[in-house]
Structure 1
Amino acid sequence: MKPAAFDLSFAGSLDEALGAIAGSDGAKPVSGGCSLGPMLNLRLARPSALVDLRRVSELRALNRSATFLEIGAGWTHAEFEDGVVPDVSAGLMRRVAHGIAYRAVRNRGTIGGSLAHADPAADWISTMAVLDARLTLRGPAGMREVAMGDFMIAAYTTVLAPDELLTAVRVPVLSGSAKVGYHKICRKTGEFAQAIGAVVLDGGSGLARVVAGAVEAPPLVLAGAGAALAAGDPAGALVVANAEIDTALAGLPEAFRAIHKVAVERAFSDAGI
């Protein structure tokens, strides 16, 4: 199929992009187009206009401090994979980027587009949840910052207003002693995950988090498991994680819960915890 007719404009700046979105009822921003493109062709999405963001230099900024790296939303998965974007997450972001779909997709898809699309099975959704990242949103009313845990409301649904753009992701700088693990279960390489497990343990920054992702909803931040990890009890953390998964996914089939438990357990193993 072909998409329904729409107008296309190319924004040269963030203000221009925001103005174009606000000035056209039903306009959608597009960067890599890896998710929106197929939806347009299937006519699952029928925006009146598209605003191309690839020329917006503000979305390609990198700002680093001693405690965080702020990454513009326009950086591609391939640029994480290739080390163009500095990896302050003890190797986690680079490894995750390498496992996203196929190289052709990684060359065009962007971190901001993936997060804004909010597919529960997408890698960046779970990765930013386990890193406790913060997202910068900008609209006509100005700029606001939200925690990753508050950003995604449900599958494909976020707190982004129709006239707002996700402009940057703020990731904490992990220490040299940090342990990170990530495991996703797919039927074959390149497909979206059926289950994701992610863990970060960093005594230097005090970050201890465990996440179960690809749960057909926002990622499950397993707070009890994280607390057990922080207390130095990795074996107990796994037991607590399994119990938390059972509770959070109680209405879903046992096999669905089991595959997420396996993903989390393998993330622990991957981290050497």
Structure 2
Amino acid sequence: MPELPEVEVTRRGIASVLQGLRIEAVVLGKPLRWPLGVEPQALAGCTVTDVQRRGKYLLLVLDAGMLLVHLGMSGSLRWRPGPPLPPGPHDHFDLVTARGTLRLHDPRRFGAVVYVQGLQDPQARKLLGRLGAEPLSEGFRFEDWFAALRQSRQAIKPLLLSGRVVVGAGNIYACEALFRAGIRPTTPAARIGPVRARRLYDALRAVLGEAVDCGGTTLRNFSGAGGDAGHFQEYAQVYGREGQPCRTCGTPVRMLRQGQRSSYYCPHCQRA
């Protein structure tokens, strides 16, 4: 699933080309996870004024409302200059402008494009209102982070994935940040003291920032708006490396199941 780094890479790839462009048409393919919420022809004539991100949502700000875009499990946005090509079987949304087309490609159709009037729109509040802090922003304060850990009854890994405290720490990045901080995925969040909480806070920011710089992670089908694959997976210390030696101490990396997700860790470097 595209996580914060992949969505941020996508945002950077389309922001400069979309800003200021007038929408000539919106073309829908097969139904996505949620309906668009407006007739496609009603968006013709709108201008894209900004491209923002909140968690794993892209916000295409228009001069009249905005489009919330979620890439789902397997989606990617691709910008193509010039006239649009005929859509393929997994192309489900085209935003057509005079300079090119922004196309959503989503084989599993868990993604969505939703029109809202603004951030106070009930649908926008439903989708965005409960999201935690942005880890790469100044609003992600250590004091708030530590207080949230102390109040939680969850193990630290599921808490990271929940998005309630901090957004964007998907499975890969949560595993890698916990490894850097020396914290086992099963450690109760409330038992993490201030020193280790600070290590994890710093590790989260570092891992996510490095992943953005690497163009995200491509395990199957993610690519940025220009078609480039990410390569953060080449630097993974524990994720997907069950049975292989830890790059730090040589101990075989282990995998355990937490809910429906696989957690990878080094039993020596992450003692508790």
Both structures adopt the same fold (TM-score exceeding 0.5): no
TM-score under structure 1 length normalisation: 0.29
Of the two, which has the highest radius of gyration? Answer: 2
Whose helix fraction is larger, Structure 1's or Structure 2's?
A: 1
**Higher relative contact order at CA 8 Å, sep ≥6: structure 1 or structure 2?**
2
TM-score under structure 2 length normalisation: 0.29
